[in-house]
Structure 1
Amino acid sequence: MGIAFTLMTALVLQASAPSSQAAPAIAPPETVREFLAAADALVALGEGAAASPQADALRLSVQDAAMAYRAALAEAAQRGEAQRGCPPPPGQAQLSLGDLIGDFQAFPDAHRDMPVATAFALVMTLRYPCETARK
């Protein structure tokens, strides 16, 4: 746990804070495999990792995936389709970066080349199913 937990906590706390940089110096990971490799690299950086360009890239990846997920839910609702997931309002989901990494690590190797946005939507759908879907 130790530094990895501290790092993950710092990343979660900073995820909603406005970034002082216009864009990360490192491209955000596009696949689950790249995301997990970037997370491992962050842990290896140690204490300053939360303020690093690598952390900015991970945060941007999660933010982009979350926005795409919310947009897809809104579009489905406008079309009158059944919701695939029913997450709490933005900013209220109890999903830390550590949780997301754990969920991504549970993906079989054969599925780790899926886009982060697709994997994020799957995780959110599984974590926050709609009440009607549970019945």
Structure 2
Amino acid sequence: MTALALQAPAPSLHPATPSIETVRDFLTAAEALMAKGADGVRTPEADAVRQAVQDAARAYRATLAESASRGEAAPSCPPPPGQAQLTIPDLIGDFQAFPDANRDMPVTTAFALVMTLRYPCAAAQK
């Protein structure tokens, strides 16, 4: 009995932060944080929302680089990294515009769609 107790993981003081995989997950987490106001900014849940956006942005930039390396036209023409003025509240609004039936799509796919709509190449070439 003692050996089993020593092998069992210690109970967590903080509940596990759910993974943010879909638009639905993102909106649920982000809306809960917005309801907390300033108190939600420095929480593990806020870190998870920020990480989901960063991961989606990295995946999107990698897709753009792959397209360029194959000589394909870019699906969009965003400003250089760090210069896009896309905030979490902006992204919440964009994701809320997705119909409920599409909210189970991956955050990375939804982020790419948002970037394509926000930064069309025709506007960048003018």
Is contact 2:22-2:103 (8 Å) kept?
yes
Q: Return the offset for 1:124.
A: 0.3
Cα offsets for 1:35-70 (capped at 9, x unmatched): 000011112323321000000000000000000000
Tell me the C-alpha RMSD between the 2 structures. Answer: 1.8
Matched, 1:35 2:26: yes
Which of 41, 47, 53 does residue 44 from structure 2 map onto?
53
Q: Return the offset for 1:27.
A: 3.9
Is contact 1:28-1:60 (8 Å) kept?
no
Which of 72, 77, 82 does residue 73 from structure 2 map onto?
82
Give 2:94's aligned amino acid.
D
CA distance in 2 between counterparts of 1:42 and 1:132 reads 34
Matched, 1:112 2:96: no
Return 5+ residue gaps in structure 1 as ranges.
1-24
Counterpart of 2:82 in structure 1 is 91
Q: Percent of counterpart pairs with the same letter?
A: 69
Give 1:56's aligned amino acid.
D
Give 2:95's aligned amino acid.
F
* Alignment: residue pair count: 111
Q: TM-score scaled to structure 1, two decimals?
A: 0.77
Q: TM-score scaled to structure 2, two decimals?
A: 0.82
Distance 1:91 1:133, change over 3 A: closer
Counterpart of 2:56 in structure 1 is 65
